[in-house]
C-alpha cells in the first residue's frame, strides 16, 4: 500500500486526508525507519508495509467507533510501542486527547521526538507499566473514555491492563490479528470481573494483503474492584480465571 493507495483506501471509509496529514505520515515513516536502525521499534520497515500494517491498521478502530472521528475523547494507548494505534489516530483525528504508556523508555523517547516533529498537541507520554498506571492509587484510574491496545497480550491479560483505566460508560478497543474468538472465550471471566462487557467483535481483512483482523470492543459497565490490576507481572503469569490463578 503506497501513500496514495493509503489515502484512497481511507477515503472509501469517508476519511479524507489533507496534504498536511499526508506529510505527517511521511515524516512519521522517515523518523520510524531512521530511529529503528539503533532502537528496536518494529520489524516492518518497507514503506508500503508500514503504510498498510502500521498506519492503515491503526486507523481501523474508527471504522467501528464513529465517535473517534468527531468527539473530544480521552484515549489511553497501552503498550503503544512505536505509537500504534494512537499516533495515526491522532494525526487523522486531532480532536482526540491521547495518553500513551509504554514500559520501555527508549520508545517513549522516540515518541517524544515524533510528537514534536509532527507538531501534535494534547498528547501525553508516560514511561510506566500498565498495572501501575491504572492502580488503585493512580490519578489516571478509571479516567479515560477509551483504552486501546494492539498486539500487546491475550485478551484475559489485556483486559486487566486496560479496563482499570476506563471510566464507567467508556470502552476498551482491542486490535487483534486473529484467534479473537478463542481469546474472548478464555477471557470472559476476566472481562466480567474487571467490570467489562463485550459489545462487538468484528472480523475484517486489510486491503491489499487480505490479512485477517478482529476489532473487539468492550464497554465498562461497572467499576473495577480495587484489587485489580494486580502487581506488575502477575496478570501475565496468572490471568484472571485461569487454572493457575
Binding residues for S-adenosyl-L-methionine: 79, 84, 130-131, 150
Is 62 within 8 Å of 133 (Cβ atoms)?
A: no
Tell me the three state secondary structure of residue 217. strand
Give 150's DSSP letter: E
**Alpha-carbon span 87 to 8, nearest angstrom:** 20
- Residues making up the annotated binding site are 79, 84, 130-131, 150
Question: Please, which residues bridge with residue 196 across strands?
Answer: 220
First to last CA, the chain: 44
Please name the helix (run of DSSP H) or strand (run of DSSP E) that holds residue 112, with its range, or none: helix 105-118
Q: What is the dihedral of CA 157, 162, 164, 170, to 10 degrees?
A: -140
**Alpha-carbon span 126 to 103, nearest angstrom:** 8
Is 195 within 8 Å of 150 (Cβ atoms)?
A: no
Amino acid at each position: 500500500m503506497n501513500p496514495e493507495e493509503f489515502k484512497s483506501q481511507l477515503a472509501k471509509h469517508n476519511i479524507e486526508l489533507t496534504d498536511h496529514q499526508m506529510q505527517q505520515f511521511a515524516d512519521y515513516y522517515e523518523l520510524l525507519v531512521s530511529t529503528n536502525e539503533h532502537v528496536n521499534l518494529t520489524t516492518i520497515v518497507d514503506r508500503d508495509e508500514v503504510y498498510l500494517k502500521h498506519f492503515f491498521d491503526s486507523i481501523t478502530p474508527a471504522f467501528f467507533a464513529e465517535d473517534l472521528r468527531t468527539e473530544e475523547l480521552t484515549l489511553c494507548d497501552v503498550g503503544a510501542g512505536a505509537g500504534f494505534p494512537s499516533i495515526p489516530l491522532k494525526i487523522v483525528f486531532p480532536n482526540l486527547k491521547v495518553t500513551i504508556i509504554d514500559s520501555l523508555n527508549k520508545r517513549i523517547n522516540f515518541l517524544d521526538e515524533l510528537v514534536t516533529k509532527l507538531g501534535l498537541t494534547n498528547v501525553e507520554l508516560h514511561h510506566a507499566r500498565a498495572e501501575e498506571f491504572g492502580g488503585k492509587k493512580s490519578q489516571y484510574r478509571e479516567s479515560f473514555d477509551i483504552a486501546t491496545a494492539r498486539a500487546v497480550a491475550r485478551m484475559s491479560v489485556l483486559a486487566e491492563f486496560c479496563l482499570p483505566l476506563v471510566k464507567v460508560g467508556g470502552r476498551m478497543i482491542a486490535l487483534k490479528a486473529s484467534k479473537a474468538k478463542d481469546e474472548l472465550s478464555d477471557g470472559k471471566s476476566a472481562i466480567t470481573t474487571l467490570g467489562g462487557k463485550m459489545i462487538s467483535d468484528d472480523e475484517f481483512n486489510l486491503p491489499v494483503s487480505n490479512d485477517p483482523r478482529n476489532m473487539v470492543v468492550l464497554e465498562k459497565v461497572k467499576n473495577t474492584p480495587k484489587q485489580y490490576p494486580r502487581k506488575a507481572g502477575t496478570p501475565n503469569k496468572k490471568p484472571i480465571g485461569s487454572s493457575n490463578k
